Structure 1
Amino acid sequence: MKTKEKFLSFNLGVRDTAVISLQHITEVLQVSLPEICSVPEMPSSVLSIYNWRDEMLWLIDLEAMLGYPPISQRPNLLSRMMGIVLENKGKYLGLLVRELIDIEWLDTKQMKPAISELFYPQISPCLQGYFINDLEEIIFSLDATTIIQAPMWWIHN
């Protein structure tokens, strides 16, 4: 049984790194902030609706959703961000992150279980587990399906 899988790695907050399995990623796109139109009366982690392939795509501030300071509160707000388009059963969701790192092969047998006491309360439900890299750093493995199926997006959709 093959246990190596391709993951997209990206920064979370100032020091953390996270990965999402490529099997749930449809596209990666550059999003410039002027193209984002905000939506009133939405949770703070919901940044906007974005015109993607002539469809309306919800754009989520992944860091705000997971308990980090919102991207919009950063002093050095970037004019361009990276959008990771996730897909599950015909539903799409865009996650905004500051920068992508790489595509990595990771051995899923090396993934440690997510123990909720170790992590922020907001991040725990979205974790599949975590990896420890060669530098002894934790890499969060996010569960794309859980993120897409979070009730807060579909109440307003």
Structure 2
Amino acid sequence: METKQKFLSFNLGTNDLAVIPLQHIAEVLQVSLTEICGVPQMPNCVLGIYNWRGEMLWLVDLEEMLGYPQLLQSPNLVSKMMAIVLENEGKYLGLLVHQLTDIEWLNTEQMKAPSAELFYPVISPFLNGYFIKPDTGIVFNLDALAIIQAPMWGNHN
């Protein structure tokens, strides 16, 4: 049984590292904040809609969704950010992050189950588990499907 999987890793907040399995990622692109169309009456973490391949793509501030400070209020705000486009059964959702770090192979057998004591309650529903790496410490393994299917989107995506 193949236990190694390819993951895309990126920064969360100032010190944390997270990964999402590559199989759930449709595309990674650079987004200019001026091209995001704001939408009223949405959760704070929803930044708005972006024109992606001629379709409307909802963009979400992943950090705020997971209980970190808002990306848009960060002191090192840049006008262009990276968006990770998740895909599941024809539904797409764009996650805005500061920067991507790497594509790496991780052994899923070494993944530890998330425990409530270790993590903010906000992040728990979106975690598959976590890895501990000697060089970087804890790496969150985010559950792409839980993020796409989060109740907070209602019928918007």
Task: Please report the TM-score for the alignment, with normalisation by the length of structure 2.
Answer: 0.97
Cα RMSD for the two superposed structures: 1.0
What does residue 153 of structure 1 align with? 153
In the other structure, the counterpart of 1:36 is 36
1:155 deviates by 3.2
The aligned residue for residue 87 of structure 1 is 87
Report the counterpart of residue 55 of structure 1 in structure 2. Answer: 55
Correspondence 1:119 to 2:116: no
Q: Which runs of 5+ in 2 are unaligned?
A: none
Amino acid at match of 1:71: L
The CA deviation string for residues 35-79 of structure 1, in whole angstroms up to 9 with x for no partner, is 111111110000010001111010000000000001111122111
Q: Distance in 2 between matches of 1:105 and 1:37?
A: 35
Distance across 1 between alignment mates of 2:60 and 2:130 = 22
1:6 counterpart residue number: 6
Q: What's the offset of the Cα at 1:154?
A: 3.1
Q: Which runs of 4+ in 1 moved over 4 A?
A: none
The 1:37/1:118 distance shift into structure 2, 3 A limit, reads same
Q: Does 1:134 align with 2:134?
A: yes
Aligned counterparts of 1:97 and 1:150: Cα–Cα separation in 2: 18
2:127 maps to amino acid:
L
Displacement of 1:136: 5.8
The corresponding residue for 1:76 is 76
Q: 1:62 to 1:136 in 2, by over 3 A?
A: closer
Residue 20 (1) aligns with residue 28 (2)? no
**Percent identity at matched positions?**
70
Q: Distance in 2 between matches of 1:153 and 1:130?
A: 25
Can you give the 5+ residue segments of structure 1 that lack an aligned partner in the other structure?
none
**Per-residue deviation, residues 118-142 of structure 1 (Å, max 9, x unmatched):** 1011100000000000226000000
